[in-house]
Structure 1
Amino acid sequence: MNKFLFALCSLGLIASAHAQLKAPDADYAKVRQQFGQLNLTVNAVAESPMDGLLQVFTNKGLFFTSKDGQYFIEGNIYDLTNKVLVNDEQMRPYIQQQVEAQKSGVIEYKAADEKYVINVFTDPTCGYCRKLHNEMKDYNNAGITVRYMAFPRGGLGSETYLQMQHIWCSKDSRGAMDKAKDGDNVKPAMCTNPVKAQYELGQSFGVSGTPAIILPSGRLIPGYQPAKALLSQLQAGS
């Protein structure tokens, strides 16, 4: 897909996802103003499963607030009746929407007999990311397609950020990723690319390290998972 068209499509899908989650305009305006004081960018606001609270999806993860924006709640909230972590349950559909909006910008390793698709925030300089990559045949043989998304751990000013742009802009992005994961140099190439957007997306999910695996359910698993263990979780629908 043309890189410029990809960027426009992604922005359109994200805007659509945000529109579905958005709370009444009055609440949204108050919350955005209050959260701005904390240097947090509000991506979407929705009614919380808890009466009197809103859930706020930001550039740094999920938070909760009173409807007037006065009270800010950071941390995990548990539903003791249903035995679930509310943060996780509410983030899953949001993550699914946002990942869907980025699917044209991933680097994909497709299973011949595909049963499941996972998205993985990766950094080619990360040891466990390389371990996962070296076992790509195991994932694919288990019917798991792996889609890489960029998350340079050093941030947007790092050498890895530049390297990942070269990877995504390469004519053979998979080949470039393979080389980078082996510790080899990647030929410089620049274009309009999704690396910055994907990194910021990962931050909005609460990702702080790599690999970070996103299951089809929207569940986010921090860290490496061997193919057999991951397959068990996928089969269980977790």
Structure 2
Amino acid sequence: MKLVKSLLVTGLIATLSFGALANADSSNKLKTMLTAKLGLSVSSVKPMPIDGLFEVMTDRGIFYSSQDGRYIMRGNIFDTVNGFTNLTEGAMAKMRNAKLESYASSMIVYPAKDEQYTVTVFTDVDCGYCRRLHSQMQQYNDLGITVRYMAYPRGGQDSKTWASMESLWCSSDQRKAMDDLKSGTEIAQSVCPNRIPDHYQLGVEFGVTGTPAIVLDDGTLIPGYQPPAKLLEVLKS
């Protein structure tokens, strides 16, 4: 009997190992194929709970693919049994958290004295709602919310805003330069090595389509302006 149990266990382990290897092999083949087909940087491919469907994480967000790579789609997938959970946003939140901290040293930070929460805001200095958010910075800070800014000039690299934000990040007093630009005051133009292109690309990867875009400390992305009291409610929930 012991020999039979041992053989069954060994067989089960071998089956599981073979399944894991088969999944890894399928994922690797699919990653190579989709990198060529999509023309994007594919960072990972992994099977979904749905038979035959794979999650494809790229530098343009998440795509879904059939096992053979023939069919590709984009959108949110919800689990209707487990609380109508958004599986797509859950995967994106984990990715955002994993990547964001490596950018911390290049952020412009407005710290709360009694910090309880930290949010990261992709901002454009010429965006009306971004300016509104910035005008209430003291209120956010008083509620214990530290605000960290990342650059996301919506007009792209050839825009006037991009040049202004490069000068902002090159400024010797970044917070004063941010305050000036957000109030409509021009600052001296300057050029230096900076991470504006990296910030912008990260925003694209995170799914930012407009500003302000607020990333909570759990990786959740909230598009658009949130008043101080409302943002606190969201953070508490």
TM-score (norm: length of structure 2) = 0.84
Letter in 2 for 1:126: C
Change in Cα spacing, 1:86 to 1:185, as seen in structure 2 (3 Å) is: same
Alignment of 1:1-238 (within 5 A): 24=24, 27-82=27-82, 83-236=84-237
* Structure index of larger Rg: 2
Where does structure 2 lack aligned partners over 5 or more consecutive residues?
1-22
1:37 partner SS: helix
State whether residues 32 and 41 of structure 1, in contact with CA within 8 Å, keep that contact through their aligned partners in structure 2: no
1:161 partner SS: helix
Change in Cα spacing, 1:42 to 1:113, as seen in structure 2 (3 Å) is: same
Counterpart CA distance in 2 for 1:37 and 1:47 is 19
Greater mean deviation of Cα atoms: 135-144 or 179-188: 179-188
> Shift of residue 41 of structure 1?
2.6
Matched-pair identity in %: 44
RMSD across aligned positions (CA): 1.7
Change in Cα spacing, 1:70 to 1:136, as seen in structure 2 (3 Å) is: same
Letter in 1 for 2:119: I
Greater mean deviation of Cα atoms: 31-40 or 194-203: 31-40
Q: For residues 101-129 of structure 1, what are the alpha-carbon distances to aligned partners after superposition, in whole Å with 9 as ceiling and x for unaligned?
A: 21111100000000000000000000000
Change in Cα spacing, 1:137 to 1:32, as seen in structure 2 (3 Å) is: farther
Q: For residues 78-101 of structure 1, what are the alpha-carbon distances to aligned partners after superposition, in whole Å with 9 as ceiling and x for unaligned?
A: 111111111111111101111112
Change in Cα spacing, 1:25 to 1:103, as seen in structure 2 (3 Å) is: farther
Counterpart CA distance in 1 for 2:92 and 2:34 is 21
State whether residues 30 and 45 of structure 2, in contact with CA within 8 Å, keep that contact through their aligned partners in structure 1: no
1:102 partner SS: helix
Equivalent pairs, count: 214
Counterpart CA distance in 2 for 1:210 and 1:116 is 20
1:228 partner SS: helix
Change in Cα spacing, 1:102 to 1:25, as seen in structure 2 (3 Å) is: farther
Change in Cα spacing, 1:98 to 1:163, as seen in structure 2 (3 Å) is: same
Counterpart CA distance in 2 for 1:185 and 1:25 is 55
> Shift of residue 186 of structure 1?
1.6
Where does structure 1 lack aligned partners over 5 or more consecutive residues?
1-22
> Shift of residue 191 of structure 1?
1.8
Change in Cα spacing, 1:74 to 1:152, as seen in structure 2 (3 Å) is: same
Counterpart CA distance in 1 for 2:33 and 2:55 is 15
TM-score (norm: length of structure 1) = 0.84
Counterpart CA distance in 2 for 1:26 and 1:70 is 14
Counterpart CA distance in 2 for 1:219 and 1:149 is 16
Letter in 2 for 1:58: T
Change in Cα spacing, 1:169 to 1:32, as seen in structure 2 (3 Å) is: farther
Letter in 2 for 1:232: E
> Shift of residue 159 of structure 1?
1.5
Q: Which has the higher contact order (CA 8 A, sep 6+)?
A: 1
> Shift of residue 59 of structure 1?
2.2
Show structure 1 runs of 4+ deviating over 6 A.
Answer: none
Letter in 2 for 1:43: S
Letter in 2 for 1:27: S
2:146 partner SS: strand
Question: What does residue 16 of structure 1 align with?
Answer: none
State whether residues 151 and 165 of structure 2, in contact with CA within 8 Å, keep that contact through their aligned partners in structure 1: yes
Counterpart CA distance in 1 for 2:117 and 2:32 is 37
